[in-house]
Amino acid sequence: MILVTGATGHVGRHIVSGLLDAGEKVRALSRDPGSRPWPPGVEVLPGDLKEPGTLAAALGGVDSMYLFPVFGAVPDAVEAARQAGVKHVVMLSSQAIEYSTKDPHLACEEAVTASGLSWTFVRTGALMVNDLHWAGQFAGEGVVRGAYGMSPLAPIDERDIAAVVVRSLLTPRSGTVHTVTGPQSLTQVDRVRIAGQVLGRAVPFEELPREHVRKQMTAHLPAAVVDELLDHRASLVGTTAEVLPTVEQVTGRAPYTYAEWLAYHEADFRPAGQAAAGH
């Protein structure tokens, strides 16, 4: 039995589907099991990583688990997993810990390694799915805004992250770190241009002052983390983002391009009620 936490998230839902497609017995942990339809064959149990007392039932009989890194909750979660006899944990982490001493994923990794469990970390950089926050700007005013528009990243499709996690659960190798990227080095300006081509609506990118973006980001992240992140983005201007072969090496197929990700999420970028051309 494989337990998937964060099973309703952008990555988690694809992990559930991938494991079912592989013929595995899958249990999903959800704070609200009735909030969405589930694919046939998955066992869904209520539970919350922030409430360790709710995890015992979900962990019973589990051999491996995918751990979504809920900050502050990982130490208790891995201890509950250890006590339940879980053998291997695959945790989503962040490439940011390679340049940031304040990124909270570092404490999550330390908790897992200290648990004594067999583990694999899947470290991601930029996620394509984060660009869904542009959807309102595309559908509304028609201008995308941000800081350091010429800073390159190699964003990755959530389906590729899930595929690497699935493979790591099916063939566990303790102490493995998979750092994953998408197949292209792209600036924000590049991504907005590609989005305009895929969606059939040219939209400009407008550079915002750093402090404006910093204020927005500190509403969700600690100021020290935001400053390191923005400093890192500033340092990348004029460079090319590193593209790693990890997805293809682990899964045996090429990762999705940004245009393919946009096509998959096309409906999310269109005003409510508006159909895509030709549909």
- Residues 176-220 have pLDDT tens digits of 999 999 999 999 999 999 999 998 888 899 999 999 999 989 988
Q: What is the pLDDT of residue 175?
A: 95
The 10s digit of each residue's pLDDT in 76-128 is: 999 999 999 999 999 999 998 888 788 889 999 999 999 999 999 999 999 99
Q: What is the pLDDT of residue 275?
A: 47
CATH topology for 2-123+158-180+243-254 is Rossmann fold (3.40.50)
Q: For residue 183, what are the contacts with CB-CB under 8 A and spacing of at least 6?
A: 154, 243, 247, 254, 255, 256, 257
Q: What is the pLDDT of residue 274?
A: 52
pLDDT band at 271 (very low <50, low <70, confident <90, very high): low
What does DSSP say about strands 26-30 and 43-46: parallel, antiparallel, or unpaired? parallel
Say how many C-beta atoms besides its own lie within 10 A of residue 228's C-beta.
18
Per-chain mean pLDDT for the chain: 91
Q: Which two tokens stand for residue 199?
A: 């969606």
Least Cα distance to 268 among 205, 195, 179 occurs for 195
- Report how far residue 105's alpha carbon sits from residue 64's, in angstroms, rounded to the nearest whole number: 20
- Report how far residue 275's alpha carbon sits from residue 262's, in angstroms, rounded to the nearest whole number: 15
Least Cα distance to 8 among 42, 33, 25 occurs for 33
Assign 26 to helix, strand or coil: strand
- Report how far residue 172's alpha carbon sits from residue 26's, in angstroms, rounded to the nearest whole number: 16
Least confident of 51-60, 118-127, 168-177, 237-246: 51-60
Higher pLDDT, 234 or 102: 234
pLDDT band at 273 (very low <50, low <70, confident <90, very high): very low
Does residue 276 surpass a pLDDT of 90?
Answer: no
Partners of 120 in the β-ladder = 90, 176
Angle, helices 158-170/12-21, rounded to nearest 10 degrees: 50
With beta carbons less than 8 A apart as the criterion, state whether 119 and 91 touch: yes
Sequence letter at residue 199? L
- Dihedral, CA of residue 8, residue 190, residue 238 and residue 257, to nearest 10: 50
Task: Write phi, then psi, for 255 (nearest 5 degrees).
Answer: -70, 160
Q: What is the pLDDT of residue 18?
A: 97
